[in-house]
Amino acid sequence: MMNGTLLESAERIATAVSEDVTTGASSRGAMIALDITKAPAANETLTLQLEAKDPSSGKYVPITAFAASKKGEELEAGATLLFTVYPGGAETAAVGNHEVQALPLPRKWRVKVTHSAAGKWTYSVGVSPLQ
């Protein structure tokens, strides 16, 4: 599995998806960082979701959705939110900007960042594999 950037830092006004990620044989989970550097001064949010790729049809199937970010008006100065997917992990709900879900990663997957409205957000998404 790659260790690095899934979505480069850029200004976005609509939902964005990463390229496919292939989970390596030694990786069981991942820590995903959503680094928000600019948020709209509005009542808008971002939601990060992992989608598994069905090897038969090639379609994407949501496997998890993390809690929505704080509102843009609360994040104007930016924030880094961490999301961990790891089998057997202690599940949390956005404790100190870090949320954990106890799931194994599928072989092929991608990240989807959904915008609640059309405000301008600047963010990047990075990933670190966990063994």
Q: How many residues does the chain have?
A: 131
Tens of pLDDT, residues 17-35: 999 999 888 888 999 999 9
Give the model's pLDDT for residue 70. 86
Percent with pLDDT over 70 in the chain: 98
Residues near 85 by Cβ (< 8 Å), separated by ≥ 6?
29, 30, 32, 50, 64, 100, 101, 103, 104, 105
CA nearest neighbour of 85 among 68, 70, 69, 65: 65
Tens of pLDDT, residues 30-72: 999 999 999 998 999 999 999 999 999 999 999 998 888 888 8
pTM over 0.85: yes
